[in-house]
Structure 1
Amino acid sequence: MRKIKHIVVFRLSAMGDVAMTVPVLRAFAAQYPDVKLTVVSRPFFKPFFDGIPNLDFFAIDLKERHKGFFGLIRLYKDLKKLGVDAVADLHNVLRSKIVRSLFAWSGKKTAFVDKGRAEKKALTRVENKIFKPVKSMFERHKQVFKELGFEIRLENPIFPKKADLTEEILNLTGEKHKKWIGIAPFAQYDSKVYPQDLMQQVIDKLAENQDYKIFLFGGGNKEIEILDKLAAGKENVITVAGKLKFEEELKIISNLDVMLSMDSGNSHIAAMLGIKVITLWGATHPYAGFLSFNQTMDTAIVSDRGKYPLLPTSIYGNKKVEGYEDAMRSIPIEKVVAVIQDQLK
């Protein structure tokens, strides 16, 4: 078999999962500079990969050219033209399986991620729960490349330099003379969202320190309305959502001193940029393998398992358990503020 010089990498969604591939691919690019990577994902995620050497981004077109089964055949042909030697499938869903299989049938080496469903089910089940950490997604991604013949080291990671802030961004943020705190108080499911009244108290307490400037992240009219309420009356609290392009939001995040996030995509975006991340966990738990890159359990604040012993009840937060609706209220606001302040020392 010829030496592998070009690997196509699949991860189509979701935002946090795509962000979790970035540290692994950045490490790969640094350790194997002679091997080209082509990342296949949705166009929206292209900025995640900017600046990684010898990496090209291939924007999949799921609305037209690459839609449906025959669209996947076209995707295979489009990628084949690039001179691909191997496939690293970091998604392992029907779409990527089909394209991966076509490459395998043409004689290319392929490998795919093991999502560890059995271990995760054991962690979240009600009876006979096995409460111990499962392999992180970063380790699972490493294993895919190992199967292709490439060992990746994630110790001493390399992060991009802080982005230069454009005039448009500075019109919103002002020059950086204070500690910048990002807060992303939303998640896909309510079971992963810190109650709004408690988050308001966290923000109010932090805003008392005039050496802090706080930026609120979210998206969509409903979230923006909530963010504006959280920021109301505080000069050093700024709603970012809806005011800048996504690429510009990434530039602000790269200049933060710390990010407070739920178990959501924002935690992984901040982590891939080398930012300290504090996460709050409700129905889910960092033991499921989704702790943000290069972070420790010291900054993962989990709901009280003494009061809610069935936690975690879900991997993604989509499963509701009666009586556990208020699990995140067991996270004291004082602890959240103290951990943030400690990270800013």
Structure 2
Amino acid sequence: MRLTGDYNCMNCLSRILIIRFSSLGDIVLTTPFIRALKQRFPSSTIDYVAKEEYVPLIAHDPGIDHVYFARSCDGFKGLLALAKKLRRAQYDHVFDLHNNLRSRMLRTLLAAPSSSIRKENLKKFILVSFHKNLFKETVPVPERYARTATVFGVRLDESGPTIHVPSHVYQRAIRILESEQARSSDRSIALCPGARHFTKKWPLEKWIELAGLLLENKDTRIHLFGSKDESSCCDEIQRAYPDVISSFCGKLSLLETAAGLADCDAAVTNDSGLMHLATAVNVPVVSIFGSTVREFGFFPYRSRAVVVEKDDLSCRPCTHIGRKRCPRGHFACLNDITPRTIVQAIDDLLKPDSH
């Protein structure tokens, strides 16, 4: 945690600003911190800055008073305009949960006391490049966020991330599901085959095989979720079993996707933003991890979830973000995870005594 400002008064934060521009999963993981801040300072005003496309995720959080958006296309001029608007609020403290160039520029322009997340980039680099683990402990990202406010007595509760979906959005999403006859089965499983980087994507043919195994249970229906960019992948899976698979890739907003996930009995995901979104609406999750590892802090947090990974590979991790291709060529971290392993993980997760 990096701090700037005068800290003679530890109990007088009445106006607070949180900065986290992106991305989906990172923003979802800020919600335990929002909750903890509001519990510590219940009378405070808490505002938030995010990229425009992520504003709906935070706008309905009961701990947030106002969400301001920043657009990358507006450049430095847009950042100046945003800072001018934010300075009027005279924040007592700014929590920079992004700690990149843009967020540092913004908090400098605000000239308010601030603290920023420690990103441990050097330790990540050494772990990836030399496979030497300097992490003395594995600290989940929500807890790294919370460390920016330890000096103020802020402590996380025992719950995980939470996304608040307004009832009208939920009802709209359900109508869309019903229009696809996607609510007529006893068991619905969400498959989320997308991810931002190749080395985080379980191969398409394995998703198709997984769908076939799940559909051996005649009471099961499968829903596919993802962004518009992932539509082609989802379409291929749907074409394999068109009568019992519904694809909502690119058809729903972020909040509608959250509502659709909430209507499912379980979700299978890659290491992706939808993994965190699913946990935030209390859906049991089986997540498939490839090139990344627990030490980076992005495993499902305090939720009903299981991670399937090949933890015996000497080449993991090969990146802390993701790669366009496997540097060794074998892609064993994901190729060696079988669909039957995922089916077993789902069955174990849904057993009545599993939680």
Q: Tell me if both proteins adopt one fold, taking TM over 0.5 as the criterion.
A: yes
Q: Sequence identity of aligned pairs in percent?
A: 24
Contact 1:123–1:132 (CA<8 Å) still a contact in 2?
A: no
Q: Deviations over 1:188-246 (max 9, x none)?
A: 1111111111111111111221322221122235x322212212234332111133333
SS at match of 2:221: strand
Counterpart-to-counterpart distance in 2, 1:250 and 1:317: 24
Counterpart-to-counterpart distance in 2, 1:13 and 1:35: 24
Alpha-carbon deviation of 1:266? 0.8
Contact 1:120–1:134 (CA<8 Å) still a contact in 2?
A: no
> 1:321 aligned to 2:330?
no
Contact 2:221–2:244 (CA<8 Å) still a contact in 1?
A: yes
SS at match of 1:63: helix
Counterpart-to-counterpart distance in 1, 2:214 and 2:286: 14
TM-score by length of 2: 0.85
Q: Deviations over 1:268-294 (max 9, x none)?
A: 111222222211111111232111221
Q: Deviations over 1:38-59 (max 9, x none)?
A: 1101121122124322412111
Q: Which position in structure 2 is the counterpart of 1:165?
A: 171
* 1:91-170 equivalent positions in 2, closer than 5 A: 91-104=98-111, 108-129=112-133, 134-147=138-151, 149-157=152-160, 159=162, 164-166=170-172, 167-170=175-178
Aligned residues: 334
Q: Which position in structure 1 is the counterpart of 2:37?
A: 28
Q: Which position in structure 2 is the counterpart of 1:237?
A: 245
Q: Which position in structure 2 is the counterpart of 1:312?
A: 317
Contact 1:89–1:111 (CA<8 Å) still a contact in 2?
A: yes
Q: 1:215 to 1:132 in 2, by over 3 A?
A: farther
Q: Which position in structure 2 is the counterpart of 1:185?
A: 193
Contact 2:14–2:41 (CA<8 Å) still a contact in 1?
A: no
Counterpart-to-counterpart distance in 2, 1:83 and 1:150: 22
1:48 to 53, 57, 69: 57
Q: Which position in structure 2 is the counterpart of 1:58?
A: 68
Between 74-83 and 87-96, report the one with greater CA deviation. Answer: 74-83
Counterpart-to-counterpart distance in 1, 2:90 and 2:63: 14
SS at match of 1:165: helix
Q: 1:94 to 1:210 in 2, by over 3 A?
A: same
Aligned partner of 1:35: which letter?
A: S
Counterpart-to-counterpart distance in 1, 2:164 and 2:73: 35
Aligned partner of 1:322: which letter?
A: R
Q: 1:139 to 1:304 in 2, by over 3 A?
A: closer
Q: Which runs of 5+ in 2 are unaligned?
A: 1-7
Q: 1:169 to 1:80 in 2, by over 3 A?
A: farther
Aligned partner of 2:67: which letter?
A: F
Q: Which position in structure 1 is the counterpart of 2:284?
A: 276
Alpha-carbon deviation of 1:36? 1.8
Counterpart-to-counterpart distance in 1, 2:186 and 2:236: 23
Q: 1:132 to 1:337 in 2, by over 3 A?
A: farther
Q: 1:321 to 1:61 in 2, by over 3 A?
A: closer
1:200 to 201, 208, 213: 208
> 1:339 aligned to 2:345?
yes
TM-score by length of 1: 0.87
Counterpart-to-counterpart distance in 1, 2:265 and 2:59: 21
Contact 1:43–1:59 (CA<8 Å) still a contact in 2?
A: yes
Cα RMSD (Å) of the superposition?
A: 2.5
SS at match of 1:75: helix
Contact 2:28–2:162 (CA<8 Å) still a contact in 1?
A: no
Counterpart-to-counterpart distance in 1, 2:135 and 2:335: 22
Between 49-58 and 198-207, report the one with greater CA deviation. Answer: 49-58
Alpha-carbon deviation of 1:139? 0.9
Aligned partner of 2:69: which letter?
A: A
